[in-house]
Amino acid sequence: DKGGYRHYMLKEIFEQPKALGDTLSERFAHGRPLEAVLGPDAAELLPQVRGVHIVACGTSYHAGLVARYYLEQGGGVPCTVEVASEYRYRDPVVPPGTLFLAISQSGETADTLAALRFARGSGYVATAAICNVPESSLVRESDLVLMTRAGPEIGVASTKAFTTQLAALGLFGMLVARHNRLDARMEKLYARQLLHVPAQVEKTLQLESAMIKWAEWFADKHHALFLGRGPSFPVALEGALKLKEISYIHAEAYPAGELKHGPLALVDADMPVVAVAPNNRLIEKLKSNLQEVRARGGQLFVLADPDTGIRSEPGIEVVTMPEHIEALQAPLVYTVPLQLLAYHVAVARGTDVDQPRNLAKSVTVE
């Protein structure tokens, strides 16, 4: 049942405020996340954790890339993130005190499951899973489990599963970091910021009409570039993945500082460049990267915080977020307009949004 929406994907994009609210509800007490959300063994295992190895595929891998910032910047917890099909075929070195974390919407992705099974005998403190399907293999086989509560996701392109993973990872990050460098005052601040995200996402959905306008510009293009820095780089990766999956436009994401090391050669008037520009400590660096694009005649599409001072002018289309977005919130909130952009480009091109060619919802073969 598409609930009156034209596609499941659009319905699922609009379900995000609820899915996020559900994922966060009843998981905090006295303004801090509850350890028990990870299961009965969390109280014993979490204090031992000094580092995290995250493994996942596709969109879930992008969620992992964001989590690294939550763990390292907020908590001083070293973290590596790797795609499961690579991780399982090398010989990862596991420092003492390391937790293995698999992220998967379905909990049945073959490479992710194989990575978990490999990890079980590899000297980790424990294995953990962030997953959306309670009866999945991943959930059954992991020591610690944090469920996302996105509800069933039908569209092949993952949307609400991704943002609920980010919410779960925010929570998970606090639970690990509090045994490392995160103090109680900061933890409460982060918890408040996270709990405000469903309301921010609700407001951000109103950017749909602006994304429909942007989509007209993209519909006849063959390539697009997505830029971000810091935690916005994985958001750019996710924006590019959504666009290529459902509209079949070749899209690539780059950390904006890498532009001049190669991809700038591609930039011309036929290459739209999307930039993710929250107002954080990297904004001035990002602005000079955007100037590099403008100087080559590239058309810029910038999603920015209202307080960045970036304004629309010829060659730069700016859409501002409904309010200032904090660092922890930005990956969740900024993802939403990029989902809407990909969706409306695909609709404009007449592709099969919910069932893109060559793809399956759950990849149970290697």
Active site residues: 361
Q: How far is the CB of 57 from ligand F6R (least distance, A)?
A: 4
Residue 128 or 256 having the CB closest to ligand F6R: 128
Q: Which of residues 21-40 bind ligand F6R (CB under 6 A)?
A: none
Residue 48 Cβ vs ligand F6R, minimum distance, rounded to whole Å = 27
DSSP β-bridge partners for residue 131: 104, 147
- Residue from 16, 85, 98, 112 binding ligand F6R (CB under 6 A): 112
Instruction: Tell me whether strands 32-33 and 28-29 are parallel, antiparallel or unpaired.
Output: antiparallel
Backbone angles phi, psi at 102, to 5 degrees: -100, 140
Cα separation, 343 vs 353, whole angstroms: 7
Whether 74 and 33 have beta carbons less than 8 Å apart is answered as: no
> Closest CB to ligand F6R among 106 and 164?
106
Q: State which of residues 114, 283, 348, 363 lies at the interface with ligand F6R (CB under 6 A).
A: 363
Contact call for residue 157 and ligand F6R (CB under 6 A)? yes
Q: Does 15 bind ligand F6R (CB under 6 A)?
A: no
- Asked whether 329 and 196 are in contact (CB, 8 A), the reply is yes
Instruction: Name every residue whose Cβ is closer than 8 Å to that of residue 287 and which is 6 or more positions away in sequence.
Output: 277, 308, 310
Closest distance between ligand F6R and the C-beta of residue 338, in Å? 12
Side-chain half-sphere CA neighbours of 21 within 13 A: 10
Shortest reach from residue 184's CB to ligand F6R, in Å: 33
The rounded distance, in Å, linking the Cα atoms of 134 and 145 is 9
> 65, 235 in Cβ contact below 8 A?
no
Distance CA 150, CA 131 (A): 10
By CB under 6 A, is residue 150 in contact with ligand F6R? no
| Shortest distance, position 245 Cβ to ligand F6R, whole Å | 6
**Phi then psi for 267, rounded to 5 degrees?**
-75, 125
Report, in this order, helix, strand and coil percent for the chain, each rounded to 5: 50, 15, 35
**CB-nearest residue to ligand F6R:** 58
Residue count (the chain): 366
Q: Which two tokens stand for residue 181?
A: 């460098």
Shortest gap between Cβ of 171 and ligand F6R (angstroms)?
Answer: 18
Map the footprint of ligand F6R across residues 222-251, applying CB under 6 A: 241, 245
- Residue of 60, 142, 247, 339 interacting with ligand F6R (CB under 6 A): 60
**Residues 80, 103: contact at Cβ < 8 Å?**
no
The residue (of 112 and 279) whose beta carbon lies closer to ligand F6R is: 112
148 part of the interface to ligand F6R, by CB under 6 A: no
Map residue 126 onto helix, strand or coil: strand
- In the region spanning residues 65 to 104, those forming contacts with ligand F6R, defined by CB under 6 A, are 104
Q: Which of 53-61, 67-75, 177-185, 289-297 is the region at the interface with ligand F6R (rule: CB under 6 A)? A: 53-61
| Contacting residue, 98, 105, 137, 289, with ligand F6R by CB under 6 A | 105
Question: What does the buried/exposed string (b/e) look like for 59-74 if buried means 16 or more CB atoms within 10 Å of the residue's CB?
Answer: bbbbbbbbbbbbbbbb
Q: Which is nearer to ligand F6R, 106 or 180 (CB)?
A: 106
Distance separating alpha carbons of residues 98 and 94, to the nearest angstrom: 7
Query: Which residue, 23 or 158, has its beta carbon nearer to ligand F6R?
Result: 158
With binding defined as CB under 6 A, does residue 158 bind ligand F6R?
yes
Residues contacting 248, CB < 8 A, separation 6+: 349, 351, 356, 357
* Among positions 21, 39, 58, 75, the unique one binding ligand F6R when judged by CB under 6 A: 58
Instruction: Find the shortest distance in angstroms from Cβ 104 to ligand F6R.
Output: 3
Binding site for ligand F6R (CB under 6 A): 57-60, 104-106, 109, 112, 157-158, 241, 245, 362-363
